[in-house]
């Protein structure tokens, strides 16, 4: 069994915004293309609109769709015309059953005596380095993110790219973690701090430099489109066959 692993660009998927109310008129959303300059042919594309997010190119062979308002997520395999997904709680339960079968153990009881104590919160400090260069025609401000005193990220935030008008940052981060499961989560444990959430709500990073495990990687936004996208961009195509969530996420049976 071959497990798919998210591409590094998925770490940039923690940008977000405000949900639209039921019955609100259609509004413009954002489509954003991101690349790693070291791998320019590998593009990750994000759609943000009305509390929904679509991600292409971050997870091998699959499109991801999350609806932060409905609490649902979907994986779509366009090549084989199949899909999986549903409410996050149901997906988590299915993944737990699959992992229990693979390990030969019973699914863990979250309320049992062996429940893991919550991790100690990280100390997160954001330093505003002031105005930076224009990127894609947008003014940016450079910020440095220190976690427990260590430089973890540098971000060139463009306030005018107001993705935060579409999907709330913490809701999107939580939705992606639930969709992928803890075993494939790319979060580092500090993204849901109040300071980091406020930074990501202030605009979209058109450049992001990551420092993890002694390695440096860069993400660059190569294009930004502002438009009203059809509902079909955030839906499973008609005629696709439904399969098991663990099967699609982990490549079971391939």
The pLDDT, as a whole number, for residue 106 is 58
The pLDDT, as a whole number, for residue 75 is 96
For 9-19, letters b (16+ CB in 10 Å) and e give: bbbbbbbbbbb
Q: How far apart are the first and last CA of the chain?
A: 7
Tokens of 180: 């992928």
Plot region of 125 (φ>0 → left; ψ -120 to 50 → alpha; else → beta): beta
The pLDDT, as a whole number, for residue 116 is 52
pLDDT tens string, the chain, 254 residues long: the values are 334 444 433 434 333 332 222 233 445 899 999 999 988 889 999 999 999 999 999 888 899 999 999 999 999 999 999 999 999 999 888 888 887 887 766 555 544 445 555 566 779 999 999 999 999 999 999 999 999 999 999 999 999 999 989 998 778 888 888 888 765 555 567 887 889 989 988 999 999 999 987 789 999 999 999 999 999 999 999 999 999 998 898 875 44
Domain spans, the chain: 8-109+122-250
The pLDDT, as a whole number, for residue 59 is 86
The pLDDT, as a whole number, for residue 65 is 96
Indicate the DSSP class of residue 71: T
Architecture of domain 8-109+122-250 in this structure:
Clam (2.50)
The pLDDT, as a whole number, for residue 50 is 95
> Do residues 45 and 31 lie in contact, with contact meaning Cβ atoms separated by under 8 Å?
yes
Alpha-carbon distance 53 to 176, whole Å? 10
The pLDDT, as a whole number, for residue 18 is 29
């Amino acid at each position: 069994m071959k497990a798919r692993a998210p591409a590094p660009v998925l770490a940039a998927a923690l940008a977000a915004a405000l949900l639209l109310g039921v019955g609100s008129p259609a509004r413009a959303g954002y489509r954003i293309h991101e690349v790693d300059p070291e791998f320019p042919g590998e593009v990750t594309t994000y759609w943000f609109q009305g509390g929904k997010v679509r991600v292409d190119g971050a997870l091998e062979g699959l499109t991801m769709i999350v609806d932060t308002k409905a609490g649902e997520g979907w994986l779509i395999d366009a090549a084989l015309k199949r899909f999986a997904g549903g409410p996050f709680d149901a997906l988590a339960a299915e993944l737990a059953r699959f992992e229990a079968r693979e390990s030969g153990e019973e699914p863990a009881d979250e309320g049992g005596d062996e429940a893991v104590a919550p991790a100690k919160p990280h100390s997160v400090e954001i330093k505003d380095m002031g105005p930076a260069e224009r990127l894609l025609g947008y003014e940016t401000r450079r910020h440095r993110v220190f976690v427990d005193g260590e430089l973890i990220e540098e971000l060139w935030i463009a306030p005018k790219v107001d993705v935060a008008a579409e999907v709330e940052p913490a809701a999107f981060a939580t939705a992606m973690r639930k969709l992928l499961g803890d075993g494939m989560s790319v979060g580092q444990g500090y993204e849901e701090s109040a300071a980091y959430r406020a930074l990501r709500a202030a605009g979209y990073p058109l450049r992001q430099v990551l420092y993890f495990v002694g390695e440096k990687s860069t993400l660059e936004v190569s294009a930004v489109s502002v438009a009203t996208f059809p509902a079909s961009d955030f839906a499973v195509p008609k005629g696709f066959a439904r399969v098991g969530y663990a099967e699609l996420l982990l490549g079971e049976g391939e």
